[in-house]
Amino acid sequence: MSGMEFDLESRLSDDDHQALKLWLRLLSCTTRIEDQIRQRLRADFGTTLPRFDLLAQLERHPDGLAMRELSKRLMVTGGNVTGITDQLEAEGLVLRETHPDDRRSFIVKLTPQGLRQFKRMAATHEAWIVELFAGWTPAQKTQVQELLAQLKTHLKDNTP
Partner DNA sequence: TATTGTTATACTCTATAACTATA
Partner DNA sequence: TATAGTTATAGAGTATAACAATA
Site for DNA, rule CB under 7 A: 1, 38, 48-51, 66-69, 71, 75-83, 85-86, 96, 99, 101-106
Q: Positive or negative, the Cα torsion across 36, 149, 120, 63?
A: negative
Torsion angle of the four alpha carbons 52, 58, 59, 61, in this order, in degrees rounded to the nearest 10: 160
| Closest to 118 measured CA to CA, from 74, 53, 29, 64 | 53
**Least distance between DNA and beta carbon 143 (Å):** 29
Q: Which is nearer to a copy of itself, 13 or 98 (CB)?
A: 13
Cα 137 to Cα 131: distance, rounded to the nearest angstrom = 12
**Least distance between a copy of itself and beta carbon 122 (Å):** 9
**Least distance between a copy of itself and beta carbon 48 (Å):** 14
Q: Which does 91 bind (CB under 5 to 8 A by kind): DNA, a copy of itself, none?
A: none
Q: Does 115 bind a copy of itself (CB under 8 A)?
A: no
